[in-house]
Amino acid sequence: MRSRYGLLSSLTAVVLFILLETCAILLVARGGVVQRFKVMGAVRSVESWFWERTGRIRYYFNFRTENDRLTAENLQLRQQLSRFAAVQRALDSMEVVVEPEFTYFGATVVRNSVDRQHNFLVLDRGSDDGVEAGMGVVTSRGVVGIVSAVSRHYSYVISLLNTEQSVSAKLAGSGAFGPMTWTGVSPKGAVLREIPVHIQTAPGDTVYSSGFSTIYPPDIPLGTIEKSTIRQGSSQELTVSLLEDFRSLHNVYIVKNNRRQELEELYEQAQ
């Protein structure tokens, strides 16, 4: 009787083991970022509150660097503004109304991870501010990630420092483009693939966003080339040093593509 009970117990233990491991693998396979964000809404609210406050303390100690960076960015924006003002005047005289392709929302990072294989950020802008899932997040020094889920006051962003993320990037001179992904090791390292071998590159050349996706605007500087390696004789793989330091991210811009729906409808019609 006892041995039969022991056998039954061992069998149920094996079944339970298989069941739990299957559950765990299914959870991993599904990723579940969005679901987790929704299910854990209440926990996130408390955590976000805490992260916001600890982030403020860290921010206080980074004031100097952040100010220098904002000053440089302001200068660049003012120069752009003056150029656009001239164009605007010319357009006004022709009575043409130009709708901007991208709209920007300023946001502050309240939570950021850089040391995992699947990194993420939490921003202090949510659906109340007009943020929607699928919008891009950028800075003047690169692409940061894609909004994956939003609550009323916060948004959850899958970082570019994520092994499943890639961004379409192009080379400054030639315009040759390919997917750029994070190396998974250093927060500053990325790899640009599928560049034809005949394209000449040199260390220090700048890599920009291509604008071929509906998420990120074109011509955002992403990084500089460190070295080039030929893969299987058919394409180059470029090691890129990212300009943006993800460890000290604080102010970012959420980007809305105002023509995204139109473009997606066009793609659907074409298929």
Partner 1 sequence: MNRLSNIFYCTLVFLLQLVLTDYVHLGPYVFLCLVPYLLINIPLSRSPHVVMLTAFAIGLGLDVLSDGVPGLNAFAAVLAAAPCKFLYRRLVNSDRQDKTEIPLPGEVGFLKYAKYLSAVTLVYMAAYVALDCISFRPVSFILIKFAASAAASIALALLLAIPRSNRP
Taking the least distance from each CB to partner 1, the nearer of 24 and 70 is 24
One DSSP character per residue, 126-163 reads -GGGT--TT-EEEETTEEEEEEEEE-SS-EEEEEEEET
The window from 10-18, 124-132, 167-175, 212-220 that contacts partner 1 (CB under 8 A) reads 10-18
Q: What is the DSSP string of 178-245?
A: EEEEE-SS-TTEEEEEEEETTS---TT-EEEE---SSSS-TT-EEEEEEEEEEETTTEEEEEEEESS-
- With beta carbons less than 8 A apart as the criterion, state whether 111 and 121 touch: yes
Name the β-bridge partners of 103. 256
Tell whether residue 9 is a contact of partner 1 (CB under 8 A).
yes
Q: Which of residues 164-193 bind partner 1 (CB under 8 A)?
A: 184-186
Closest CB to partner 1 among 54 and 79? 54
Which CB, 12 or 200, lies closer to partner 1? 12
Question: Minimum Å distance from CB 34 to partner 1?
Answer: 12
Distance of CA 1 to the CA centre of its chain: 61
The Cα angle at residue 88 between residues 174 and 207, in degrees rounded to 5: 20
63 binds partner 1 (CB under 8 A): no
Q: Which is nearer to partner 1, 7 or 81 (CB)?
A: 7
What is the nearest approach in angstroms of partner 1 to the Cβ of residue 10? 8
- The structure tokens listed for 124 are 């202090």
Nearer to partner 1 (CB atom), residue 71 or residue 229: 229
Phi then psi for residue 97, to 5 deg, are -100, 125
Q: Do 192 and 167 contact (CB within 8 A), yes or no?
A: no
Distance from the first to the final alpha carbon of the chain: 66
Q: Is 8 in the site for partner 1 (CB under 8 A)?
A: no
Q: Is 120 in the site for partner 1 (CB under 8 A)?
A: yes
Select from 12, 71, 79, 80 the one that contacts partner 1 (CB under 8 A).
12
| Whole-angstrom distance, CA of residue 204 vs CA of residue 224 | 5
For partner 1, which residue of 42, 61, 93, 115 counts as binding (CB under 8 A)? 115
Residues 14-43 that bind partner 1 (CB under 8 A): 16-17, 20-21, 23-32, 36, 40, 43
Residues near partner 1, by CB under 8 A: 9, 12-13, 16-17, 20-21, 23-32, 36, 40, 43, 113-118, 120, 163, 184-186
